[in-house]
Amino acid sequence: MGVSASLDAASSAFFAGPARAKQAAGPLDPLGYGSRNIGGNGDVGELEYLILHTDPTAVASKARVIDAEDPSRVAVNEYVDAVRRLACQVLDLLGEGLGLRDPTSLSRLISAADSDSLLRINHYPTTTATLQGPAEGSIGFGEHTDPQILSLLRANDVDGLQVLLPDGHGGGEQWVQVPADPAAFFINVGDLLQALTNGRLVSIRHRVMASTSRSRLSTIYFAAPPLHARISALPETVTAVTPRRYRPFTWSEYKKAMYAHRLSHNRLDHFRAPDNDATDDDTNS
């Protein structure tokens, strides 16, 4: 059984288990098991989920609830290692495309030993599942952008993921369905990457619609830097024509802003640079 299949099987078994067993992984702190409530600011969705830190020690303390017969948490750790390497490859390609002097400067942020990356496993039940079933067209997970650098999402063959795109006719924006493909990764730019590239790459707004016929299982790797990492526009992206759009900040500062606002809030607005800031030659830690 492959790395992805092993984790999917363990995740499906976990969510099919009794409520008491799932609640043993919680309460959210902010890691652990959650149901319907998303964050602490009133957002709700038609889902249940498990959030794990990707540090092997943290995995060992939480992931035992996914597979009690896997004492070394192989399923989770092997998956995390594989998607981390994939995320680094994607970021190195982006670094080359952006013309960075050091194309690995982005991937080094997420490959650090004290990276704050997370693994999130979402289960969207059908109307016949344990959770109260959604009405047709209801929201499974509300509109938001991902706050980290990059997110890599895999899901089963159930539709639900939508992205907000210009409608092409000058009439604003519209939600576009992303076709389900269990053999593919869907890669989202996060808020931090938008700040690091001075807006050249944009953190896309997306949501998940609930299904009334089949349950959806998705696994998302959120690639994040260490808490102390300083996020500042890469020098190659800042010129007199394209001045610095965001003031420097740490990932820790941004996380506090993330937890202070609702899902749909544009967090980067709080980190915009003053109008008289033209260039920024600092490097990122």
Q: Which domains does the chain have, with CATH numbers?
A: 3-271 (2.60.120.330)
Q: Which residues in the chain belong to E strands, given as ranges?
A: 32-38, 43-53, 118-124, 139-144, 150-155, 161-166, 173-177, 186-189, 206-209, 216-223, 230-231, 249-250
Q: Return the number of other C-beta atoms located less than 10 Å from residue 140's C-beta.
A: 21
Q: Which tens digits make up the pLDDT trace of 167-207?
A: 766 778 999 999 999 999 999 999 999 999 999 999 999 99
Checking if the pLDDT of 282 tops 60, the result is no
Q: Which amino acid is at 103?
A: P
Is pLDDT above 80 for 279?
Answer: no
Among 261, 116, 268, 265, which Cα is nearest to 196's?
Answer: 268
User: Cα separation of 154 and 99, whole Å?
Assistant: 29
Q: How many CB atoms lie within 10 A of CB 161?
A: 22
pLDDT (tens digit, 9 = 90+) per residue, 16-56? 999 888 888 877 777 889 999 998 899 999 999 999 998 87
Return the C-alpha torsion angle 101, 107, 108, 111, nearest 10: -170
**pLDDT per position as a tens digit, 159-168:** 999 999 987 6
What span, in angstroms and rounded, lies between the C-alpha atoms of 138 and 65? 29
N-terminal to C-terminal alpha carbon distance within the chain:
39
Q: Which two tokens stand for residue 57?
A: 């020690």
Q: pLDDT tens-digit profile of 1-11?
A: 589 998 999 89
106, 94 in Cβ contact below 8 A? yes
Q: Are 46 and 111 in contact (CB under 8 A)?
A: no
